[in-house]
Amino acid sequence: MSQPTPSPRIPRLMETKRIYLRPFESTDVDTYFPGLFDAEMRRLTGTQNSFTRTQVERYIENAAQDDSRLMLLIALQENEQVIGEIALMDMHTKNRSAHIRIAIDHTEHQGKGYGSEALLLMLNYGFGICNLHRIELEVFAFNQRAIRTYEKLGFQREGVRRDALYYNHQYHDAILMSMLESEFRERHVSRLG
């Protein structure tokens, strides 16, 4: 009697005891696509456009070939369930800078520290492997939970883009935050090492 063929293990680029970050696979479109229509996720990210499945497939393919971007899925160690995504974007080698973004997809996975773990993994990769000096992000002022998380990790507020987002009949400010390589090393490297 032949043994069942085990499913191939998806490569894990970075991991902690609870989560791991991995590249997109072609089959991930089926999981990723419906999440783009979650009302709360759209609000938190300020997403105003809708997308077709073909557009999402093309976006993922283009991201994989773009040297200035590293887009990864966040998955749980216990069951390999994808719970979100994280990306370093607009990596500029001369300025040694990049933009980071993260989304944890469903409310049952939010507020459990998964986002903080994923951010620390990606920041460590950005500063330690990609040789970045500065990583920035933008967060809407109404997303207080995210702001608290970023500040707890050591991001510094740099400024406000007033009325940057028009969403659901209201204008909202966008807060620019950043972390420098030295700030990350001082605060986190001994814990990660």
pLDDT in tens, 100-126: 999 998 788 888 999 999 999 999 999
User: Could you tell me if residue 2 is inside a domain?
Assistant: no
User: Could you tell me if residue 141 is inside a domain?
Assistant: yes
User: Could you tell me if residue 44 is inside a domain?
Assistant: yes
pTM: 0.85
Residue 32 binned pLDDT confidence (cut-offs 50, 70, 90): confident
pLDDT(2) > 60:
no
Compute the distance between CA of residue 75 and CA of residue 18 in angstroms, rounded to an integer: 9
Residue 192 binned pLDDT confidence (cut-offs 50, 70, 90): low
User: Could you tell me if residue 3 is inside a domain?
Assistant: no
Q: What is the CATH number of the domain that holds 173?
A: 3.40.630.30
pLDDT(6) > 50:
no
- Strand ranges, E, within the chain: 14-15, 19-22, 70-76, 82-92, 97-104, 134-140, 156-167, 170-180
User: Could you tell me if residue 68 is inside a domain?
Assistant: yes
Average pLDDT, the chain: 87
Range of the domain at 177: 14-192
How many domains are there within the chain? 1
Residue 100's contacts (CB-CB under 8 Å, 6 or more residues apart) are 86, 87, 88, 89, 119, 122, 123, 126, 135, 136, 137
pLDDT in tens, 113-168: 999 999 999 999 999 999 999 999 999 999 999 999 999 999 999 999 999 999 98
pLDDT score, position 31: 77
User: Could you tell me if residue 7 is inside a domain?
Assistant: no
User: Could you tell me if residue 85 is inside a domain?
Assistant: yes
Compute the distance between CA of residue 135 and CA of residue 113 in angstroms, rounded to an integer: 20
User: Could you tell me if residue 129 is inside a domain?
Assistant: yes
